[in-house]
C-alpha cells in the first residue's frame, strides 16, 4: 500500500503534509504536490494533515491512475521537505471539481 496525492491538491498546494513525512517522499510541482509511491512507507501520518483531503490510500477505488500520476511527476519534480504557504487561491479552489483538466501544470516547483 502507498498514499497518493489526488486532484484536490491542484490549485491549493497546502504543504502541511511535507513536514510530518518521515521519509521525505513529497515532490513539488508548480501548483500541486505528489508522493513517490516507491518511497512512501505507508505510515499514514500525512493523510490527516491535509486541509484539502487530497491524500488518499491507494487501496481506495479508482486510485490506480493517481498512483501512476504520482509516480510520473515525483520522478520529474524536486523533493520538498519544508512547509510553505498555500497558493493564494487555495481556499476558493478547495473541493472544486475538474481541477486536473482546468489547472494542472507539469512545471516543477522550487522544492526545498
Q: What does the pLDDT look like over 37-77, one tens digit per residue? A: 999 999 999 999 999 999 999 999 999 999 999 999 999 99
What does 41-104 look like in DSSP terms, one character per residue? ----SSGGG-TT--EEETTSTT-HHHHHHHHHHHTTSPB--S--PPPTTHHHHTT-S-HHHHH-
Residue 18 predicted with pLDDT over 90: yes
Q: Which CATH number fits domain 3-84: 2.60.120.20, 3.40.630.30, 3.90.1300.10, 3.30.70.20?
A: 3.30.70.20
For the question of whether the overall pTM of this predicted structure is more than 0.85, the answer is: yes
Amino acid at each position: 500500500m502507498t498514499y497518493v496525492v489526488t486532484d484536490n491538491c491542484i490549485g491549493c498546494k497546502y504543504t502541511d503534509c511535507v513536514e510530518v513525512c518521515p521519509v521525505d517522499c513529497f515532490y513539488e510541482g508548480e501548483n500541486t504536490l505528489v508522493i513517490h509511491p516507491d518511497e512512501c512507507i505507508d505510515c499514514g501520518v500525512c493523510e490527516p494533515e491535509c486541509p484539502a483531503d487530497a491524500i488518499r490510500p491507494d487501496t481506495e477505488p479508482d486510485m490506480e491512475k493517481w498512483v501512476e500520476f504520482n509516480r510520473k511527476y515525483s520522478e520529474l519534480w524536486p523533493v520538498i521537505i519544508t512547509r510553505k504557504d498555500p497558493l493564494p487561491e487555495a481556499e476558493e479552489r478547495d473541493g472544486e471539481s475538474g481541477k486536473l483538466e482546468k489547472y494542472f501544470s507539469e512545471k516543477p516547483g522550487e522544492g526545498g
